[in-house]
Every structure is written in structure tokens, then in C-alpha cells.
């Protein structure tokens, strides 16, 4: 039996914009595999040092890339991470940067338990569109797309659009 080729998708954006929510639901609807880089790093202890300012372990980016290489070559992966410039560019067929309005994001991060500098820095990251600019530098501009992620209607629209894109990609590449 010939194996169907499937695309790899990167979901990125500031923490709290809804990457996990979208990624998991998208995986359920399409049969693609959802990969959360934070969880993967925790499971495999793929860390290199500790960030005193943010009180969190520092991701060992090289080991994350090594760990994922074989899976990414299989295709059909949905990768979720709040950064994007250390992944090999060749891994992804499309990159989505989720965007959330400031007040909305502030409330989400606050209910997640973020306070003080951590809360402020993350909201600023969104205001300065840091991750969008990172994505535009790391990937071909034409494969980078911003998606609004403010309410359940946005979520549903994004799910439908990406599902359709996957279907079309598979028609074109098989
Ligand atoms: P991320 O993975 O980007 O950190 P998340 O998926 O954990 O974000 O979502 C953060 C919170 O926001 C969570 O409580 C779910 C909620 N949320 C996500 N997408 C949403 C949307 N489109 N509309 C309303 N709430 C959303």
C-alpha cells in the first residue's frame, strides 16, 4: 500500500493565543498528529539550564530538533510552540501565527496564573508582534499566515480553513 503524503503544520504565537486548543482539535478532525513542544521537552527532559528571571527551564533546542527529525520526515505533524526560529525551515509546509487582542490575552494569561513581569512581558510580546516577525524571518513569507484567535467563532473558522487547506494539499501532493 502506498502511504499518503501529509503536510507538516506549525502553530505558533504568544503563550495564551490558543495554539493548544486549535492544535488538538485540528488533530482530532484531520487525523494528523499533534505535538506540543513544551510537553515533549518535559517528558524527555530536553532542557539546558535554568532561566532565573522567568523561573523556568531553558529549552535545549538542538535536542528538540534531533528528537523530532524522524517524525517530521514522516509528515502529518501539527507542531505547537511559542517560538519558531530554531526549527529547520524545511520541516514546515505552512506556518500559522495565532493573534489575540491585548485585553483578551491579558485575561487569559491572568486566569492561567501569570502575574507581574511574566504577564506584562507576554502581553507586550503580542503587542509588538514578536512571534509574527520571527516567523516572517524564519520562513518564506508566503507560507506564513496570521489567524485571529479571539472567540469561539474564530476557532471554528480557523479549524475549517486549515482542514480545507490540508485536504487540498493532499490532493495536490498525492
Ligand atoms: P496556547 O496553547 O497558545 O498557550 P491555549 O490553547 O492554552 O493557548 O488557550 C489559552 C486559553 O484561551 C484557554 O483557556 C483556552 C482559551 N482559548 C483558546 N482559543 C480560544 C478562542 N478562539 N476563543 C476563546 N478562548 C480561547
**What DSSP line would sit under 54-112, residue for residue?**
TTEEEE-HHHHHHHHHHHHHH--EEEE-S--TTS-GGG-SEEEEEE--HHHHHHHHHHT
- Block means of pLDDT (10 residues each) for the chain, 174 residues, are 87 98 98 98 97 90 98 98 98 98 98 95 98 98 98 98 98 97
**Rounded Cα distance, 147 and 137, in Å:** 18
Nearest CA, atom 19, ligand 1: 18
User: 9: closest CA among 113, 118, 165, 125?
Assistant: 165
Nearest CA, atom 8, ligand 1: 18
Query: What pLDDT is stored for residue 53 in this prediction?
Result: 84
The rounded Å distance from CA 100 to ligand 1 centre is 9
Query: What pLDDT is stored for residue 166 in this prediction?
Result: 98
Q: Which residue of 10, 13, 14, 16 sits with most ligand 1 atoms within 8 Å of its CB, as the best mutation to test the pocket?
A: 16
Does residue 15 have its Cβ closer than 6 Å to ligand 1? yes
Binding residues: 16, 18-21, 112
3-state secondary structure of 162: helix
Query: What pLDDT is stored for residue 2 in this prediction?
Result: 61
Does residue 17 have its Cβ closer than 6 Å to ligand 1? yes
Burial 58-94 (b: 16+ CB within 10 A, else e): ebbbeebeebbeeebeebbbbbbbbbbeebeeebbbb
What domains, with CATH codes, occur in the chain? 8-173 (3.40.50.300)
Amino acid at each position: 500500500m502506498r502511504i499518503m503524503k501529509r503536510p507538516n503544520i506549525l502553530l505558533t504565537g504568544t503563550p495564551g493565543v490558543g495554539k493548544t486548543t486549535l492544535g488538538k482539535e485540528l488533530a482530532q478532525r484531520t487525523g494528523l498528529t499533534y505535538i506540543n513542544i513544551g510537553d515533549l521537552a518535559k517528558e524527555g527532559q530536553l532542557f539546558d539550564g535554568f532561566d532565573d528571571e522567568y523561573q523556568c527551564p531553558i529549552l535545549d533546542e538542538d535536542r528538540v530538533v534531533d528528537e523530532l527529525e524522524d517524525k517530521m520526515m514522516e509528515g502529518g505533524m501539527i507542531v505547537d510552540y511559542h517560538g519558531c526560529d530554531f526549527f529547520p525551515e524545511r520541516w514546515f509546509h505552512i506556518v500559522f501565527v495565532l493573534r489575540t487582542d491585548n485585553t483578551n490575552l491579558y485575561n487569559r494569561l491572568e486566569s492561567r496564573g501569570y502575574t507581574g513581569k511574566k504577564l506584562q512581558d507576554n502581553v507586550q510580546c503580542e503587542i509588538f508582534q514578536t512571534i509574527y516577525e520571527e516567523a516572517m524571518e524564519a520562513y518564506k513569507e508566503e507560507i506564513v499566515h496570521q489567524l485571529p484567535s479571539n472567540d469561539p467563532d474564530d476557532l471554528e473558522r480557523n479549524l475549517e480553513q486549515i482542514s480545507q487547506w490540508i485536504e487540498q494539499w493532499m490532493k495536490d501532493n498525492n
